[in-house]
Chains A and B, each alone.
Chain A
Amino acid sequence: MWRRSASFILDDERRRTSNSPPMADNTTRAPFQNPDAISAYYQTRAAHHGVITSDWLAQAQAAVGGGVSGEENSDSSVSELGKDKSFNVIEEFNGWRKQPDLAEAVAAIRALAAVIRASEASTMMELEIELKKASDTLKSWDKTSISLTAGCDLFIRYVTRTSALEYEDFNSAKSRLLERAEKFGEISCKARKIIAMLSQDFIFDGCTILVHGLSRVVLEILKTAAQNNKLFRVLCTEGRPDGTGVLLSNELSKLDIPVKLLLDSAVAYSMDEVDMVFVGADGVVESGGIINMMGTYQIALVAHSMNKPVYVAAESYKFARLYPLDQKDMAPALRPIEFGVKIPAKVEVEMSARDYTPPQYLTLLFTDLGVLSPSVVSDELIQLYL
C-alpha cells in the first residue's frame, strides 16, 4: 500500500528535480548553498532564538533595528539573498526584521511604508501599483513566511479600500497610509496584550500547561498569568532542533514559574498530567487549522485523543488565505537539522520546519479579535478579504 501513496511519489519527484540532494552535505552543514530550499522565515526565527536575552521581551518596539550581536552570520547570508535581486523593499524588510520583538508582518508593513515614503508616484493608482509590485517581490522572496504574506495582503487590502474613499488630495491620502502603517506596529504589540488578557480566564489555579515552541504570545500569556498570581505549572517540550523549549523554560524560570522540560517524544507519556496545551502559530489558515513549528500536529493529536483542550494563541495578522489539505500541501519550509553524528550519505533527512494541524484537533483560538472557535477564522477571513 505504501508504494501507492502519492506523498512517496511526490518526495521522489522533489528529490529528482532538486539539483543537489539536500541530505548529501548535511553533516558538513552547508545548506546555504541551496538558497531556495531553505526557509528564510525559519532562519530568522532561529536567529532570534539564538540571541535571546532576558530583556528580549522588554525591548521596546521602537528599538533601533539590527545591532544584536551574533546575528550577523545567519542574517548576512539572508541579506545576500536579497541583494541579488537588489530591491529596496527587501533590504528595508530585512532591516526591520532584525528586531527580535517585531513581528514579521509588522516588518513587512514597515517596509511597505518605506516604499510609500520613497515613492515618487503622483496618483493613488500609481502608488497602488508600486506597492503591489513591492509586496509581490517581498512575498516571492520568502514564500514560507505566512505572516509576511498575510501582512502584505492586509496592507494592500487597506490601501485599495481607502483609495476608494477618495481623499481630496493625494498627499493627505499618502500620509494617512503612513499613519496606518505606524499604527499597525502598535496594534501588533497591543494584540499580544489583548490575547494575554483574554486567555487569563482559561488558566486556573493548579493547572498544568503544556507548551510547544517558543511563541511570543504564549510567553506573554504565561507572564500575565504569573503576574496575576495564578498558580500553575508549565511543561516545555525540548523543541528540537532549535531548542525552543530550553529557551522558554529559561524565561519562565526567571518568572518563578515551575517548569519541567520534556523530550519531544515524551508528550504522550506526560499528557496524563496536562490540563491544557498552549501553542502559538506561524499562520492560521482558512480552515481554522494552524501552521506551526514541527511537532504541533503530533501534540494536538495526542491531546485530542486524551480529551485535553488545545489552545492556540495567534494575532489576527497571522490569518492567511491558505487552505492546506494535508501536510504536503504547503510550500516546503526547510531547515537544516544537526544530528551531532555523521549521517550516512544514503539516508534522507526530513527537514521541514513546520506542520499543519487541522481544525478538528484545536479547541479554541485566542486572537485579538476575541476567543474564536476554529470555524470562525474563515468567517473573519472572508470578511477581511472579500
Chain B
Amino acid sequence: MDPRRGPLAVPKVRRVGFFTSIEPSPETPRPNRSLSGPAEAITSSSPLSDSPSGQFISPVQIPPSRHHSDNLASRAAPVPVPGPSAFRRQLANDRALHVGSYNPVDSLLGTSPPSSNGEVSEDSGSLFGFQRSDSAKLSASFPNGGFDMTMRVRAPQESEAKVAIASTSDGRKKNVEASAGEGESVAAKPRKEKETKSLKEKTSKAERRAIQEAQRAAKASAKGEGSKRAGESSRPKPSKPAKQPQPKKEAPQVTSSVSEKRAVSVEKERRMDVPQTQMQYDDKSRVDKAKRRSVVEQTESKNKVELFLHLPQYERGNQLPNLSSNIFSLDTIHHAVYKVGLQHLAGDISGDNARCIAMLHAFQEAINDYTTPPMKDLTMDLTAKINGYVSFLIECRPLSMSMGNAIRFLKNQIRKLPVDLSEPEAKASLCSEIGRFIDEKILLADKVIVQHAVTKIRDGEVLLTYGFSCVVEMILLYAHEIGRKFRVVIVDSRPNLEGQKLLRRLVTRGLDCTYTHINAVSYIMGEVTRVFLGASSIFSNGTLYSKVGTACVAMVANAFSVPVIVCCEAYKFHERVLLDSICSNELGDPDAIANVPLRNNKKHSKTMDNNKNLQFLNLMYDSTPAEYISMIVTDYGMIPPTSIPVIVREYRREDLLL
C-alpha cells in the first residue's frame, strides 16, 4: 500500500513545484506536526525539517492543544509525502525561495478567516482543508514580518491574525507588507528555481523512492512515539535545533543502513495487526520470527525463483511424520484443527469449498470444546484462539481467499456476540452461525448456481471445462439429468491432473466426454461453444483468481469468441483488487514438475537437484483479467464481472465488514 501512496502524492507535489505560489501549503503541516510531536518527529521529517518554513515557524509558539489535534488528525488522514520535491528543496537548501513563494498565498488567504483551533482539527479530516487552514495560518504569521521577522512571540502574532480577519483593510495593508517582503527574495527566486528544477531532474527514480521510504519509516516511528510524548509536547523547541542537523546529513545518503533498519522495524510493527496471510517471505526478520513461533517445521527449499521469493516454498514430505508424531504433545491446537491442517498439508483435501468446509467444521468442533479460562473474556480469548488456529493452518498451507473470507465472517460473529450471553449460549450461537454459513453460502449457493447455469446449456452444445471444479461438475451432471444433450471437453494439466477425477465421474454417469491436456486447447477450442470455469476467488476489479492454466484457457476461448462462464459462490468474492498473479499466489511442490511419473528419470533429477542455475516454479494459481470473462454465475444470479463490487458492497457488508 505504501509504495502506492507515494506516486499518488507526487502529482500534488509537482503542481506545487510549478505553481510556486501554493508551495507552502502541502509541506507546512509537517513542520507543525514535528513541532508538536516528539523529537523523533523532527528527525523523521528529515528532509523537511530543515526547510525554511519549519525554521520560521519554530520560534513562534503555538498553543499545544492545536498541535495535539493536528497531530491526531495527521494520523487519521495521511498527508501526502512530498517526496521528490522535498528532496529537491532540501538539496537546494535555500530559504529565500520559500519565502518568496509564500507571498501570493498570503495575499489570497490573509483575509480569509481560518485559524481558529477547532476549525483546524475539523478541517484536517480532509486533506484539502488541512492544507488550507495551515497555509492560512502561515499567512497570518507571515505578513507581519518577512522571513527574519517571524522571530516573534506567539501571542501578538495571533492577535494580529485576528485583526486580519476582522478588517479587510488591515489585511490589505499586510499584503502590501508581505509583497514588500517578497521583493527582497524575488530577485533570488528565478535563478534558484531553475537550479532546483535541474536538480529534480537529476534525482533518479530509485533515489526518490528511497527517500520516500525513509520518510515513511521516520513518520511511522514518530507515530509510534508520538502518542507517548504527546503530553509533553508543549515545549518541543529546545530539542529541535539539536536534532535538525542530523536529518540534513542523513537524508541524502538514502541507502544508509540506519534508515533502512528503521524502516524494517517500523514496517514490522505496523504489520503486526495485518492478517498473516500477507506475510512477505522475502523479509528475513519476519520469517525468522514466524519460524520461532511455528508448530510445523518446514524446511525452505533452496532453489527459489527470484520473482516469487515473497511466497513461502517448502520442501515437501519431511514434516508430515514429524507432525503426526507430536500430535499428542501439542495442546495449543485443537485436535480437529490439527487434523484439518495435516490434511491440507498432505493434500488430502483439495478444492476451495472442501477446504473451507473442513476448516469451518474443525472450528465448530473447537468452539464446542472451548471453555473460557478464568479471568478472561470469551470474545477476546476465543478470537486469540482462532487466530492461533489460523496461523497453524497457514503454516500447513497458505489459506485460500475463500477461507480468509470465512475466517473473517467467524471473527466478526465472535465480535458481535452480545455481552450478556452465557458461555454455552454463545458457543451454541457461534456453532449454528458457522453451520448457517456452510449451508447458505456454500451448499445452497451451489444449488442456485447450478439452476442459473443450466439455463445457458442448450441442446447440441460442446462445453469445455478446465481442471476440476465441484460446481461445474454439479452443473454438468444436473444438465445431463434434466435431459440436455451436450458434449463435454475436459482440459487437464500436469502435475495435479485433477481433470481425471472429473472425467471418471462424468463418464460413469454416462456423459459424452473428451479428455485432453492444455497443450491442445487451441485445437479443441474451435469446436467448443461454452467454457465453464471454476474459481478460487474473484476480486473487485473482476479478475478471476483460479487454478493455474485457467487464464490460458480463458484467453484462448476469448480469441475464438467462445463465451467464458465463471461459476463462483459469492462468499469467494474479495474486495481487494488483483492486477497480476505475482503478488498473491501459492507455490506448489517443485519436485512435482521436475519428476515425470512413468518415466525412469531418477538419475536425471539427481543432477538437476544440485544445479544452481535451475529453478522449478510450480505456481498454483493465476489471474484472468476481467475482459476474458463473459459472465459470472453466482448465487445472486448471472452478473458481468464489472458487478463484483456491487455484490461485495451490497450483500457482504453485514457478514464480513466491521
B640:A6 contact, CB within 8 angstroms: no
A6→B643 contact, CB < 8 A: no
Is B530 in the interface zone, CB < 8 Å from A? yes
Cβ of B650: which chain A residues have Cβ within 8 Å of it? 382-383, 386
CB contacts (< 8 Å) of B643 on chain A: these are 375, 378-379, 382
Taking the closest CB of chain B, its distance from the CB of A146, in whole angstroms, is 16
B640 A288 Cβ-Cβ under 8 A? yes
A382 CB contacts on chain B under 8 angstroms: 636-637, 639, 643, 646-647, 650
Q: Considering the chains assembled together, what is the distance between the CA atoms of A321 and B631 in angstroms?
A: 13
Among B458, B526, B638, which residue has its beta carbon within 8 angstroms of that of A10? B458
Segment at the B interface, from A51-59, A261-269, A323-331: A323-331
Q: Is the CB of B563 within 8 A of A10?
A: no
B459 interface residue per 8 A CB criterion: yes
User: What residue in chain A is nearest B462 (Cβ atoms)?
Assistant: A6
> Which of B526, B630, B639, B640 has a CB less than 8 Å from the CB of A4?
B526
Distance of A286 Cα from B637 Cα, bound (Å): 10
Select A286's contact among B460, B529, B639, B651, beta carbons within 8 Å. B639
Is the Cβ of B456 less than 8 Å from the Cβ of A329? yes
Determine whether B568 belongs to the interface, using a CB cutoff of 8 Å to chain A. Answer: no
Output the least CB separation between B530 and chain A (Å): 7
Is A31 among interface residues, defined by CB-CB distance under 8 A?
no
Cα A287 to Cα B640 in complex, Å, equals: 5
B319 to chain A: closest CB distance in Å? 46
Given A10-B459, A13-B460, A325-B630, are A386 and B640 neighbors across the interface (CB < 8 Å)? no
| B residues 172-218 touching A (CB-CB < 8 Å) | none
Size category of the binding interface on chain B = 20 to 34
Neighbouring A residues of B646 by C-beta, 8 Å: 378-379, 382-383
Assess the B460–A9 pair: CB atoms within 8 A. yes
Measured between beta carbons, the chain B residues less than 8 angstroms from A9 are 460
Q: Which of A287, A288, A325, A386 makes the CB contact (< 8 A) with B456?
A: A325
Which residues of chain A have C-beta atoms less than 8 A from B282's C-beta?
none
How many angstroms between the C-alpha atoms of A326 and B630 in the bound complex? 10
Q: Which of A4, A288, A328, A329 contacts B527 (CB 8 A)?
A: A4
What A residues does B647 contact at CB under 8 A? 382
In the bound complex, do residue A325 and residue B461 qualify as a contact, i.e. CB atoms below 8 Å apart? no
Residues 1-42 of chain A, each 1 if its beta carbon lies under 8 Å from chain B, else 0: 100111001100100000000000000000000000000000
The 0/1 profile, CB within 8 Å of A marked 1, for residues 619-637 of chain B is 0000000000011000011
Residues of the A chain whose Cβ atoms lie less than 8 Å from the Cβ of B458: 6, 10, 328-329
- Contact in complex: A325, B459 (CB < 8 Å): no
In the assembled complex, which residues on chain B have CB atoms less than 8 Å from the CB atom of A323?
631, 638-640
A379: which B residues are within 8 A, CB to CB?
643, 646
When the two chains form the complex, which single residue of B461, B636, B638, B639 contacts A6, counting CB atoms closer than 8 Å?
Answer: B461
Q: Is the CB of A325 within 8 A of B640?
A: no
Residues in A320-379 with C-beta less than 8 Å from chain B: 321, 323, 325-326, 328-329, 359, 375, 378-379
Q: How far is the CA of A326 from the CA of B458 in the complex (A)?
A: 12
A12 and chain B: residue at smallest CB distance: B460
Within 8 Å of chain A (Cβ to Cβ): is B565?
yes
Question: B484 to nearest A CB, angstroms?
Answer: 12
Please, which residue of chain A has its CB at the minimum distance from the CB of B631?
A323
Contact indicator A378/B640 (Cβ below 8 Å): yes
Do B530 and A286 touch (CB < 8 A)? no
- In the bound complex, CA of A4 to CA of B562 (Å): 13
Question: Which chain B residue has the least Cβ–Cβ distance from A360?
Answer: B627
Name which residue of chain B comes closest to A287, CB basis. Answer: B640
Q: Considering the complex, give the chain A residue whose CB is closest to the CB of B627.
A: A360
CB within 8 Å for A286 and B565 given contacts A325-B530, A325-B630, A378-B646: no
Range class of the A interface residue count: 20 to 34
**B456 proximity list for chain A (CB < 8 A):** 325, 329
Chain B residues near A288: list those with CB within 8 A: 640, 642
CA distance A383 to B639 in the complex (A): 12
With A375-B643, A378-B639 already in contact, the answer to whether A325 and B460 are too (CB < 8 A) is no
Cα distance A329–B527 when bound, in Å? 17
Measured between alpha carbons, how far is A6 from B462 in the docked complex, in Å?
A: 8
In angstroms, Cα B530 to Cα A232, docked, is 44
Q: A4-B526, A325-B630 are in contact. Are A286 and B638 (CB under 8 A)?
A: yes
Nearest-CB distance from B458 to chain A (Å)? 7
Name the residue of chain B whose CB is nearest to the CB of A375: B642
Chain A residue nearest in CB terms to B529: A6
Rounded to whole angstroms, the CA-CA distance of A13 and B485 in the bound complex is 12
B641 closest partner in A (C-beta):
A375
| A378, B636: Cβ atoms closer than 8 Å | no
Task: Write the B459-496 contact mask toward A (1 if CB under 8 angstroms, else 0).
Answer: 11110000000000000000000000000000000000
- Nearest to A373 among chain B residues (CB) is B642
In whole angstroms, how far apart are the Cα atoms of A286 and B640 in the complex?
Answer: 7
Q: Point out the residue from A10, A321, A329, A375 that lies within 8 Å of B640, measured CB to CB.
A: A375
A329–B638 alpha-carbon span in the complex (Å): 14
What residues of B have a CB within 8 angstroms of the CB of A325 in the complex? 456, 530, 563, 565, 630-631
By a CB distance below 8 angstroms, the chain B residues around A4 are 462, 526-527
Complex CA–CA separation, A227 to B617 (angstroms): 67
Closest to B527 in A: A4
Is A1 in contact with B642, judged by CB distance below 8 angstroms? no
* Whole-angstrom CA separation of A382 from B460 in the bound complex: 31
B626 CB to closest chain A CB (Å) equals 10
Q: What's the Cα separation between A363 and B361 when bound, in Å?
A: 48
Give Cα A237 to B650, complex, Å. 42
With CB as the reference atom, state the residue of chain A lying closest to B636: A386
Q: How far is the CA of A10 from the CA of B526 in the complex (A)?
A: 17
Q: In the complex, which of the residues A323, A326, A383, A386 has the most CB atoms of chain B within 10 Å of its own CB atom? A: A323
A323 to B461, CA, bound (A): 18
Q: Could you tell me the distance in whole angstroms from the C-beta of A257 to the nearest C-beta in chain B?
A: 36
Residues of B433-461 at the interface with A, using a CB-CB cut-off of 8 Å, are: 456, 458-461
Q: How far is the CA of A328 from the CA of B458 in the complex (A)?
A: 10
Q: Which residue of B lies closest to A379 (CB)?
A: B646
Shortest beta-carbon distance from B185 to chain A in Å: 47
Contacts of A383 in B (CB 8 A): 646, 650
B563 touches A326 (CB 8 A): yes
Q: Find chain B residues with CB under 8 A from A13 CB.
A: 459-460
> How many Å lie between the Cα of A9 and that of B637 in the bound state?
28
CB proximity of A377 to chain B, nearest CB, Å: 9
Q: Contact between B630 and A378 (Cβ–Cβ < 8 Å)?
A: no
| Alpha-carbon distance A383/B649, docked complex (angstroms) | 11
In the assembled complex, which residues on chain A have CB atoms less than 8 Å from the CB atom of B640? 286-288, 323, 359, 375, 378
A323-B638, A326-B563, A382-B639 known; A287-B631 Cβ under 8 A? yes
Expressed in whole angstroms, the Cα–Cα distance for A29 and B455 within the complex equals 34
Contact check, A378 vs B462: say whether CB atoms are below 8 A apart: no
CB B151 to nearest CB in A, in angstroms, measures 56
Bound Cα distance A375, B643 (Å): 7
- In the bound complex, CA of A13 to CA of B459 (Å): 9
B-chain residues with CB within 8 Å of residue A321 when the two chains form the complex: 637
In the complex, chain B residues whose CB is within 8 Å of the CB of A328: 458
Query: What's the Cα separation between A13 and B640 when bound, in Å?
Result: 30
Question: How far in angstroms is the closest Cβ of chain B from A304?
Answer: 14
Q: Which of B456, B461, B563, B643 has the most CB of A within 10 A?
A: B643
* A173 and B640 alpha carbons, distance in the complex (Å): 37
Docked Cα-Cα span, A326 to B631, in Å, equals 11
Give Cα A328–Cα B457 distance, bound, in whole angstroms: 12
Q: A323 to B563, alpha carbons, bound, how many Å?
A: 12
A-B contact pairs, 28 of them (CB 8 A): A4-B527, A6-B458, A10-B460, A286-B637, A286-B638, A287-B630, A287-B631, A287-B640, A288-B640, A321-B637, A325-B563, A325-B631, A326-B563, A328-B458, A329-B456, A329-B458, A359-B640, A375-B642, A378-B639, A378-B646, A382-B636, A382-B637, A382-B643, A382-B646, A383-B646, A386-B636, A386-B637, A386-B650
- List residues of B whose CB falls within 8 A of some A CB: 456, 458-462, 526-527, 529-530, 563, 565, 630-631, 636-640, 642-643, 646-647, 650-651
Q: Which 6 A-B pairs have the closest CB atoms?
A: A375-B642, A9-B460, A325-B563, A6-B529, A378-B643, A323-B638
Q: A6-B461, A323-B640, A386-B651 are in contact. List 6 more A-B contacts (CB 8 A).
A: A4-B526, A323-B638, A323-B639, A325-B631, A378-B642, A386-B650
